[in-house]
Amino acid sequence: MTPIANDAIIKALRAAAMDEHAAIIQYLRHAYMMGESELACEIEGVARDEMRHFWILSRWIVKLGGEPLTDRGFTDFGGATPPEWMERNVQAEDRAIAMYRELIGRANDPDLRADIAHVLADEERHRGQFVDFGVEAQAELAAATESTGAAPEAPIAVVDKEALDWGVQHEYAALLQYLMHSFLLHTQPNCEISDQLELQAINEMQHLGWLGEELAGHGIELPWTPHPVEVPSDAASMLESDIRLEQGTSAMYGQFLTQMTDPKLKGVVEDAHGQELYHESLFNRLLKRAPQKAAPEPGKTWTIGSLKQKETK
Ligand SMILES: [Fe+2]
Ligand SMILES: [Fe+2]
Ligand SMILES: [Fe+2]
Ligand SMILES: [Fe+2]
């Protein structure tokens, strides 16, 4: 592959990664707003596929010498009802299908082409799923209009809303941070740290769901802006940053728990808080086994780039 073609592929993969990130958020938002239902679970399943795609693309960006990113592409926040949301999801899949069909023709590397073909097949399946979900959502909407409807949720206290808002922004950041660290460390000789970070990223996505469903259940839009994400260059620095994140979160959740009023919402934050303490202890254990940080040469700045140079395809 010529350097120019390589640059063009990296650029296209970065745009695709931003769109995968957008798809994760668009679908999770819909699932949370639909509350606990079979359909919401299926939509969350599609969001998990998009998370896998984000991971695959980000790995390739790093392998080819590019900078991975946590920026989000166009996210469709429009539509007022589940059938309208599903229509917008069909459109998102159509955009992805068109993009991957174009990208597959530009990729010279057979392994990259195979990975893009795998992602493209998922998007084609998702499109069909969202068409079916739209029909189901339409039927559910019609049935709900005929029934008397469920009792609306009691208003949420300001302090409870503040805790959930903060939690959503934190969990979103933790999910991104652990995913980034996971794929950056994936080619290191010992994959345990990478695998654990990926597992805990999925756990943070569950927390996002617990908190997000409560906000959405009260008719409140989630704050879809993550807290800042740290991406240091080596395993030990990443784990140190992850430990700091967990410590800060435990302290914040602990503080919110002394002020929150609704027992159900408190229970949700308590559950997340307990798991954050586990994450902190797990990351501390992993840090003890992580490769020692290399002493930086005078004047040398450690960046993602320094890690990339050590990678092989
Ligand atoms: Fe995707
Ligand atoms: Fe998709
Ligand atoms: Fe969490
Ligand atoms: Fe955590």
What are φ and ψ of residue 68, in 5° steps? -70, 160
How many angstroms separate the alpha carbon of residue 28 from the centre of ligand 1? Answer: 13
On whether both 33 and 163 belong to a single domain, the answer is: no
pLDDT score for 142? 85
Instruction: Give residue 123 CA to ligand 1 midpoint distance, Å.
Output: 6
Q: Residues for the chain: how many in total?
A: 313
The string of pLDDT tens digits covering residues 38-51 is 999 999 999 999 99
Range with the lowest mean pLDDT among 50-59, 275-284, 304-313?
304-313
Output the six-digit token pair for 308.
């990339």
Query: What is the domain count for the chain?
Result: 2
Please give the average per-residue pLDDT across 247-266, as a whole number.
Answer: 97
- Domain co-membership, 179 together with 305: yes
Residue 148 has pLDDT above 60, yes or no: no
Per-residue confidence (pLDDT) for residue 151, from 0 to 100: 58
Boundary (domain end) residue, out of 94, 125, 150: 150
**3: which residues sit within 8 A by CB, 6+ positions away?**
none
For residue 77, give the 3-state DSSP assignment.
coil
Going by pLDDT thresholds of 50, 70 and 90, the confidence category of residue 295 is: low
116 lies in the same domain as 202: no
Token couple for 180: 């980034």
Domain region containing 242: 153-313
Is pTM beyond 0.75 here? Answer: yes
The answer, yes or no, to whether residue 79 has pLDDT greater than 50, is yes
Question: In this structure, are 198 and 140 located in the same domain?
Answer: no
Question: Predicted confidence band at 309 (pLDDT cuts at 50, 70, 90)?
Answer: very low
Q: Tokens 């679908």 belong to which residue? A: 27
Ligand 1 centroid to Cα of residue 124, in Å, is 10
pLDDT of residue 310: 42
96 and 130 fall within a common domain: yes
Cα–Cα distance, 88 to 77 (Å, whole number): 9
Helix intervals (H) in 34-109 = 38-63, 82-106
**Is the pLDDT confidence value at 4 over 60?**
no
pLDDT of residue 200: 97
The Cα-based distances of 260 to 170, 227, 250 in angstroms read 18, 21, 15
- Residue where a domain terminates, one of 150, 181, 204: 150
Q: What ligand is nearest to the CA atom of residue 245?
A: 4
Residue 141 and residue 161 share a domain? no
What's the gap in Å between 89 CA and the centre of ligand 2? 8
pLDDT of residue 22 exceeding 80, the answer is yes
Rounded Cα–Cα distance for residues 172 and 201 (Å): 9
Q: What value does the mean pLDDT of the chain take?
A: 90
Chain segment 189-244, per-residue pLDDT in tens: 778 999 999 999 999 999 999 999 999 999 999 999 999 999 998 999 999 999 99
Establish how many alpha carbons lie within 13 A of residue 36's alpha carbon, considering only the half-sphere containing its beta carbon.
3
Asked if 118 and 184 sit in the same domain, the reply is no
Residue pair 228/173 in contact by the 8 Å Cβ criterion: yes
Decide: residue 218, CB within 10 A, 0-12 exposed, 13-18 middle, 19+ buried: middle
Q: How far apart are the CA of 183 and the centre of ligand 2, in A?
A: 20
* Phi-psi region at 301: left, alpha or beta (left = phi > 0; alpha = psi -120 to 50): beta
CA of 276 to the centre of ligand 3 (A): 6
Q: Are 66 and 189 members of one domain?
A: no
Residue 186 and residue 133 share a domain:
no
CA distance 77 to 73: 12
**Same domain assignment for residues 298 and 176:** yes
Domain boundary among 150, 173, 196: 150
Asked whether residue 105 carries a pLDDT value surpassing 60, the answer given is yes
Please tell me the distance between residue 48's alpha carbon and the centre of ligand 1 in angstroms: 9
Cβ within 8 Å of residue 224, ≥6 positions away: 25, 29, 75, 77, 172
Q: How far does the centroid of ligand 1 lie from the alpha carbon of residue 114, in Å? A: 15
| pLDDT value of residue 296 | 53
Same domain, 165 and 135: no
Q: What Å distances lie between residue 159 and 217, 245, 254, CA to CA? A: 17, 22, 13
For ligand 1, the distance from its centroid to the CA atom of residue 120, given in whole angstroms, is: 8
Residue-level pLDDT at 186: 85
CB 175 within 8 A of CB 208: yes
Q: Assess whether pLDDT exceeds 90 at residue 313.
A: no
Nearest to 123 by CA among 100, 156, 145: 100
* CA atoms of 256 and 121, how far apart (whole Å): 44
Rounded to whole angstroms, the Cα distance separating 43 from 47 reads 6
Q: Residue 126 belongs to a domain with what CATH number?
A: 1.20.1260.10
**Smallest-distance ligand from the CA of 92:** 2
The ligand placed nearest to the CA atom of residue 276 is 4
d(CA 99, CA 26): 18
Angstrom CA distances, 237 to 135, 179, 226, 290, 306, stand at 48, 15, 21, 10, 13
State in Å: Cα 219 to ligand 4 middle. Answer: 26
Same domain, 103 and 204: no
Distance between CA 52 and CA 164 in Å, rounded? 26
